[in-house]
Every structure is written in C-alpha cells, then in structure tokens.
Structure 1
Amino acid sequence: MVAALYPSYFHDNLAGFADALRPAAWDPATVPMRRLIEPASLSERLACFSAAHDTYEPRAAASQWSKWFFSRLGIATLVAQLGSGRALPLTLDGLALASRDDGTPAYFRLADTPGTAHAGHDLSALIDEVFTPVVNALSAHCRLAPRVFWSNASTYIAWALDELDRQAQAPRAPRIAVRDLLSRRDRPDGGFNPFYRAYKRCPPGTMDGDGRPVDQCRRLCCMRDLDARWDLCANCPRAMRFPVLERASG
C-alpha cells in the first residue's frame, strides 16, 4: 500500500492525485528537485519525454511535460492544503521527484511536517519556492516565454478549485480565499500572482475544439502544436469557434 500524505482529502475526479504527495524516505526512484532543474538533468528528462511521445520540437515538448509537473504537484498541494488547513513546507531542497518511464512526474516526496496552521489558502511557497524556479529553468531550456508555462500551471489550479467547490469537501473559507486570489492581479503581500485569470470569457454560442458549447477558454495557448505530433487543446483560445453575428439589415 502506498504511504501517501493526506489521502483522505482526495475524492471523485481528484482521487487520481491522492498518491502524488508522499512522505520523505529513501527512494532510489526519486531525484532531488534542485538537481532536476539543472540544465543537464532537465535536458535528460525532457529528452526521455520527447522520445516516448515522438515529439521533438523542444518548446512543444517542454510545455507538454510541464502540464504533468504542474498538475501532479499543483493539484495535490491545493487539495492537501485546503483539506488540512495548513500550508505545506515546499522548497526545492525539501522535494524529490519520481518519474514514470516516459519522463512524466509520478509523485513527490516531501518532509511530513505539520506546515503552517490556518494557512491552507496560502500558495506562496508553491509559487515562489518551486514553480518559479521550474518555470525559469524550462523557459531557459527551450526559449519559450515564462507566461506560457504559468498559464499551464494556472489552468490546473483553477480546475482543481472548481472540483473542490463542486464537491464541497474542503472548508468553505479557504476555498473562497483561493478563489479571490485567482481574480486578483497581485497576491495579498503584493507579490506576483501567476494564477490570475487563467481563463477568459467567451461569447454565447462559442464551441470548443471538440465541438462542445463553452463559456470560457484558456487565456493563452500552450504552444504544443509547434510539433505536428500534437493538435490544439480543446480549450485553447485558437481552437474556439465563435458565433457568426448577422449584420442588421436596412
């Protein structure tokens, strides 16, 4: 049985992330996060991903790999923090990553410490201590703008919060605090807020890339279609089909 941190907080569509956070332990399958973002190590990981998925355009590969990283760690962190009411002590030196055979993140090991009480809504450590150096490393590796990676990260945070609201499992007050964060350009301390407005509104009658009616889409394209291996995502702004408005006659 997998020894996961906070598994009881993951339900329904979030259940697949219950094993993404595991307690620190000797684990030959993991690589310290600080080592992972070193140029040689990151290049090796992305090369493994590219070969496994037959995608060799470096910007497309990096963007697509980042979605696995941001979803596994970001969603798991949000759910665990809102469920426990504590901010996890996330740092590059305190995290280790285990990957699947294709190079995508499988789980993270971190110290099983209590964290900061009554601060489950505070995502500062996730943003500043982990996501920011990872975004910078990915951007330097492939010369893709940081805002593309931040857009990838923010869409998963927004999706997970929507799920938590739908399930009403986590306490309401911290969910509201995170919802407020997603609507503000700056964080409460004045710091950069990369999760601001992950989505933009679409006019009535808009259809997404799968032909389904939608009222919102991603704010930015992830650029994965730079490689012919990948089509546009269904919720990509470039995939939206907007209604044709008839001109008034007379």
Structure 2
Amino acid sequence: MIPMLAPLFTGDWTEEGESLAYAPDWPADAIPVSQLINDPMLLRDTLWRHARYRGVVGADLRAATSAWSLSYLWTLLPAFAAAASVLQHRFPVGADDMAVSLDGDGAATRFHIRRLGDALPGTSTGERYQPLLADHLDPLFAALRAQTRIAPKILWGNAARYLESVLEQGLALTGGATGIAADHHALLECAVNDDGSTNPLHGTRRVSTRVESGVVTPVRLHRQCCLYYLLPGEGYCGLCPLAPEHRRGADPDH
C-alpha cells in the first residue's frame, strides 16, 4: 500500500487501499487506461469477457457494462478520493497517467501510477477532482456509451454512489471534517460546478421507506438504477429506485 494511505485504510477497508499501486514502471501486463479508452476492439473484448462472466446472452451489453463499471470504479475511487479529500493530495489519475490490471473476466483489480502526484492543501474541490472527472471518467464513459449505448447518467450514478460511500467514511473517521464535507457538497449536492458547467455526479435522490423490526424507516434511494437486476439470476438492490416497491413510472434508463 502507498504509505500515505496506510492510516486511512485499515481493517475492512485495507483491500480498497491496496487497489492503487505506485512504482517507477507499470507492470508488463497492465493496460494503459488511455489505450483501454481509445482502442474500441480492446474495450469491446473486455466488456464481452465480463458479459460472459455475468452469464449475459445476446447483444445488449448495458447491464454487463454497468456491472463492469461498478467493479472499475470501486477499484479506482477509494484510494484517490481518500487522498484528495482527507489528505488534500491529488494522485495523477488522468487516463494518460494510469494503467489498470484486469482479471480473466475483464474486471479491474488494481490501478498503477508512476508518480505520486501533488500535495494541494487549501485548494478547491475542482482543482483536486477535475482530472478524475474530466480526464478519466468522462472519456471512459463516452467510450462505454459508444460501445453499448448505455446511458451516461447510469455510469455517473455508479460513480456518485461510490464517491459518497468513501466521503461518508472519511467524515466518520474525522468527526465531520469541514474540508471533506465541502467536497461532498460540491461533488454530490450541487447541480452545477464552479465554472457553471453541469455536474454529472449530481442527481435527485428520492426517499422511500422500509419496515425494520416493525418500525417504518426512511431510506434514501440511489440516484440511478445500475441495471443490475437485468443480469441473469440477479434482482433489485434494497435502494434501487426501480424496485417494485419504489417504482414511479420509471424506465430502465432512469
């Protein structure tokens, strides 16, 4: 694990901290992220491998692509977001700056960087997160849409749910540090960015209810359905806005 991350990733979170590796050279079998994004045949082969692993039959790869993105994002985001928000350190996360290791089913298992990036104390959320959003996720999601016609809002919703999980863990560990709270607000609660552009991570979260031990409890649903229920043998998660108990005339791309 990168030493600066070690105090942040202990216990059940240790594996997430180990998903980002630093060395002067990338492993020989790692794929530059820019190559994965810009080589349509490579990306399509990766998605088909994951679709076969998920038992998908037919040409519609949207659900498998969403599932692939969830694995990719959970491998990518925890270490980067923890460093960016808790330590105010930005790892080099642009597509040209990273390589990714994939397993036999096409899923991301580890990301690799060749330099440690920069300490950016006192900088804005945008300064620390923009390379992730504009130089990595935006072109990746565009490539995935071109391959499978998956709605970008599904992919950004997947990213938002994982960023929220990491940031809320950071808030819990730090007793609600104001800097982390500010990042949470800017990334997830603001419809527009500081420059006036639309924030793709923002989305409406409806509140529903569930009964736990006879008590009606409010629950905040995910911003977007991840389409997991369309995979063979899978169903709706408990926070899915398309689950029958939560559905309000939505379609599978909402």
Name the TM-score, length of structure 1 as normaliser.
0.84
**Correspondent of 1:184 among 173, 185, 190:** 190
**Correspondent of 2:233 among 229, 233, 238:** 229
* Conserved 8 A contact 2:86-2:180: no
How far is 1:111 from its partner? Answer: 2.6
Q: Distance in 2 between matches of 1:195 and 1:40?
A: 28
Spell out, residue by residue over 1:162-221, the C-alpha distance to the aligned partner (whole angstroms, 9 max, x if none).
11112227x813202212212111122323322214x61314x4359xxx9442011221
* Conserved 8 A contact 1:30-1:98: yes
Residue of structure 1 equivalent to 2:70: 67
Q: How does 1:20-99 map to 2 (within 5 A)?
A: 20-24=19-23, 25-37=25-37, 38-56=39-57, 57-99=60-102
After superposition, the CA RMSD in angstroms is 2.5
Q: Which moved more, 1:233-242 or 1:98-107?
A: 233-242
Cα 1:207–1:217, aligned 2, differ >3 Å: closer, same or farther?
Answer: farther
Q: Which moved more, 1:3-12 or 1:145-154?
A: 3-12
2:13 is equivalent to residue 7 of structure 1: no
How far is 1:60 from its partner? Answer: 0.8
Residue of structure 2 equivalent to 1:200: 205
Spell out, residue by residue over 1:70-104, the C-alpha distance to the aligned partner (whole angstroms, 9 max, x if none).
12112221012223212222211111000122211
* Conserved 8 A contact 2:26-2:112: no
Cα 1:75–1:194, aligned 2, differ >3 Å: closer, same or farther?
Answer: farther
Letter in 2 for 1:22: A
Cα 1:219–1:207, aligned 2, differ >3 Å: closer, same or farther?
Answer: farther
Q: Distance in 1 between matches of 2:36 and 2:211?
A: 39
* Conserved 8 A contact 1:97-1:108: yes
Cα 1:142–1:225, aligned 2, differ >3 Å: closer, same or farther?
Answer: same
Unaligned runs of 5+ in 1: 243-250
Q: Which moved more, 1:31-40 or 1:184-193?
A: 184-193
Q: Distance in 1 between matches of 2:141 and 2:103?
A: 21
Q: Distance in 2 between matches of 1:87 and 1:3?
A: 13
Spell out, residue by residue over 1:5-29, the C-alpha distance to the aligned partner (whole angstroms, 9 max, x if none).
6333223443221111111424122
How far is 1:35 from its partner? Answer: 0.9
How far is 1:50 from its partner? Answer: 1.7
SS at match of 2:200: coil
Q: Distance in 2 between matches of 1:116 and 1:191?
A: 26
Q: Distance in 1 between matches of 2:182 and 2:19?
A: 24
How far is 1:67 from its partner? Answer: 0.5
SS at match of 1:107: strand
Letter in 2 for 1:55: V
* Conserved 8 A contact 2:21-2:113: yes
* Conserved 8 A contact 1:13-1:163: no
SS at match of 1:63: helix
2:243 is equivalent to residue 239 of structure 1: yes
Q: Distance in 2 between matches of 1:78 and 1:95?
A: 15
Q: Distance in 1 between matches of 2:120 and 2:157?
A: 29
Spell out, residue by residue over 1:36-61, the C-alpha distance to the aligned partner (whole angstroms, 9 max, x if none).
12211111111221222222441111
* Conserved 8 A contact 1:95-1:110: yes
Residue of structure 1 equivalent to 2:149: 143
How far is 1:116 from its partner? Answer: 4.7
Cα 1:141–1:150, aligned 2, differ >3 Å: closer, same or farther?
Answer: same
Q: What is the aligned length?
A: 236
Question: What percent of counterpart residues are identical?
Answer: 23
Unaligned runs of 5+ in 2: 247-254
